[in-house]
Amino acid sequence: MSDAVLQVDNLVKHYGDVQAVRGVSFSVEEGEVFGLLGPNGAGKTTTVEILEGLRNPDGGYVRVCGFDPQVSARELKHEIGASLQSTSLPDKLRVIEALRLFAGFYKRSRDPEELLKRFGLEEKRNTFYSKLSGGQKQRLALAMALINNPRVLFFDEPTAGLDPQVRREIYDIIEELRREKKTILMTTHYIEEAERLCDRVAIVDHGKVIACGSPRELKQRSGGNTRIEVKLAKPAANGTLKNLEGVVDVREVDGTYVLHTQRPPQAIVSLVKHLESEGNELVSLEIATPSLEDVFIEMTGRRLRD
């Protein structure tokens, strides 16, 4: 991909006997929001830290804005901004002081006052870091990531641990950056986050990319099937649910049976009749259109957050 800002080919990273990243490959174009979606421990953060130059890879090819992070770390730092999974600043550092401090680290910088306004931190400009709420700390982290007007932004789990209202505020900020054509690589284990924010997604599991494409493309890989999740009073006999009319696939995930069908009414009627004949009962039933989680379940047999 000639205009790729990020290029990762066959990336490998070990921690002792643990292989955290196992041949990950992907590329990110200028102005694209690209998501690494996967459960905790999938290798997402390790991949991002290698791209940022914070960790050394054990194998593979990596380029960020044309730089090798391990060879040109000094040059690269002026081209990237990062909001790590956890940001920690001195308790007595004021908000405006933090922005001015970070501005001094780079050869170019944005106006801290403009960033205060943009991220809704004007009233907190003289507040100590220790007095900020979780959402305010995250907004400050995002502002610091933009202080050098970077070409590429790395957001590692940008809304982890935040309540739904604050999470939506962060979404709005990232969507604004997306409209400005900022190149963003973000990690997440939230399905709705990836679907809402990302132009393309790489689904990562056990250190490998198991699927890559736009959210729409990935959901189409489920065959356009509707998902029916059912809980039963007694376990179903092996293979019986897959033989029901209209059902094309069945997975058992944590005691819940996930049925995929292109004919929901026929599948539900057939299910009810089958349960009656087996002396079983339906405890709950939920119907949903295909999601990225369906792709993950179909490929791994487990839920994203397991």
What are the residue ranges spanned by the domains of the chain?
Answer: 4-214, 225-289
Please, what is the average pLDDT of the chain?
91
Q: pLDDT tens digits for 250-295?
A: 988 888 998 988 889 999 999 999 999 999 999 999 998 777 887 8
Q: Which of 101-115, 216-230, 235-249, 277-291 has the highest mean pLDDT?
A: 101-115
Question: Would the pLDDT of 40 be above 90?
Answer: no
**How much is the pLDDT for 81?**
96
Q: Identify the pLDDT of residue 78.
A: 96
The Cα–Cα gap between 208 and 190 comes to 18
Question: What mean pLDDT comes out for the span 202-208?
Answer: 93
Distance CA 81, CA 177 (A): 13
Domain spanning 4-214: CATH 3.40.1180.10? no
Distance of CA 14 to the CA centre of its chain: 22
Rg of the chain on CA atoms, in Å: 23
pLDDT at 2: 52
Look at residue 1 and tell me whether its pLDDT is greater than 50. no
Burial of residue 231, with CB atoms counted within 10 A of its CB: 0-12 exposed, 13-18 middle, 19 or more buried: middle
16 contacts: CB under 8 Å, gap ≥ 6: none
Return d(Cα 216, Cα 3) in angstroms, integer: 23
CATH 3.30.70.100 assigned to domain 225-289? The reply is: yes
Is 305's pLDDT higher than 90? no
Mean pLDDT, residues 202-230 taken together: 87
DSSP state of 109: -
Residue 224 pLDDT grade (very low, low, confident, very high; cuts 50, 70, 90): low
pLDDT given at position 306: 56
